[in-house]
Chain A
Amino acid sequence: RKEVEQDPGPFNVPEGATVAFNCTYSNSASQSFFWYRQDCRKEPKLLMSVYSSGNEDGRFTAQLNRASQYISLLIRDSKLSDSATYLCVVNSGGSYIPTFGRGTSLIVHP
């Protein structure tokens, strides 16, 4: 089992739609969780951290479920500019090495 697993998609949605991505992780000792966004041929950039209590940033909401070892990202009112690959990242153990999922591709169309 891979350490961090994501559905690769692609998720193809119309503008204005709500879309949700899930990510599961295998290491129960994982301590920090993030969502990154990667545009084509660009480096990954932090979208948001994921806190135990859940957190929201505008149209984006992230949730963490430690018992089931998954995190989620909800995007409301999708924009064309949201089209990208969304990477789930988990920092595990004392080394805190960020481990990346393979990413979920989102395509928002007019």
Chain B
Amino acid sequence: GAGVSQSPSNKVTEKGKDVELRCDPISGHTALYWYRQSLGQGLEFLIYFQGNSAPDKSGLPSDRFSAERTGGSVSTLTIQRTQQEDSAVYLCASSFPPGTANTEAFFGQGTRLTVV
């Protein structure tokens, strides 16, 4: 597609429920990143996918968080047993492969998650 697409744009869930957030990257971008941004805070790295390599999960805050990327394209971030501190905007970004000239990341509009 023309840009990174994320869905849903907003999600309100009850504490303890599971949620799935979806990201569709720019066509041709093999690198995909998930970040989290809490109100008034900076971007916190969560997980990184590059092609068929094993993902870098070093930023995931707990084992309640997981992500997958099927077919090297669409990615799903899953949060199990949501807690109120999970409330944030979850941003997905994609880029061309590392080592190429244009490695800047392009962001989707984010999913605003509210846990009540």
Quick check: is A26 within 8 A (CB to CB) of the other chain? no
Using Cβ atoms and an 8 Å threshold, which residues of chain B touch A98? Answer: 33, 45, 93, 95, 105
User: Contact at A96–B103, with CB atoms within 8 Å?
Assistant: yes
Q: Which of A42-50, A56-64, A66-74 lies on the face that meets chain B?
A: A42-50
Using Cβ atoms and an 8 Å threshold, which residues of chain A touch B48? Answer: 95, 97
Alpha-carbon separation in the docked complex, A91 to B107 (Å): 15
Chain A: minimal CB distance from B10 (Å): 11
Contact residue among B91, B98, B109 (Cβ-Cβ distance under 8 Å from A94): B98
Alpha-carbon separation in the docked complex, A87 to B106 (Å): 14
User: Contact at A100–B56, with CB atoms within 8 Å?
Assistant: no
User: Contact at B56–A43, with CB atoms within 8 Å?
Assistant: no
Chain B: minimal CB distance from A75 (Å): 19
Alpha-carbon separation in the docked complex, A91 to B93 (Å): 14
- Chain B interface size, as a band, is 20 to 34
Contact code string A12-47 (vs B, CB < 8 Å = 1, else 0): 000000000000000000001010000000111110
Interface centre among A42, A95, A102 (most CB of B within 10 A): A95
Using Cβ atoms and an 8 Å threshold, which residues of chain B touch A55? Answer: none
* A42 (CB) vs chain B CBs: closest residue: B109
User: Contact at A43–B110, with CB atoms within 8 Å?
Assistant: yes
Query: Could you tell me which residues of chain B, from 64 to 116, have a CB within 8 Å of some CB in chain A?
Result: 91, 93, 95, 98-99, 103-110
Quick check: is B43 within 8 A (CB to CB) of the other chain? yes
Using Cβ atoms and an 8 Å threshold, which residues of chain A touch B103? Answer: 32, 91, 96
User: Contact at B104–A87, with CB atoms within 8 Å?
Assistant: no
User: Contact at B56–A95, with CB atoms within 8 Å?
Assistant: yes
**10 more CB-based (< 8 A) A-B contacts, given A45-B107, A46-B104, A103-B42:** A32-B104, A34-B104, A49-B104, A94-B98, A96-B31, A96-B95, A97-B48, A100-B35, A100-B42, A100-B45
Residues of B within 8 A of A (CB): 31, 33, 35, 41-43, 45, 48, 50, 56, 91, 93, 95, 98-99, 103-110
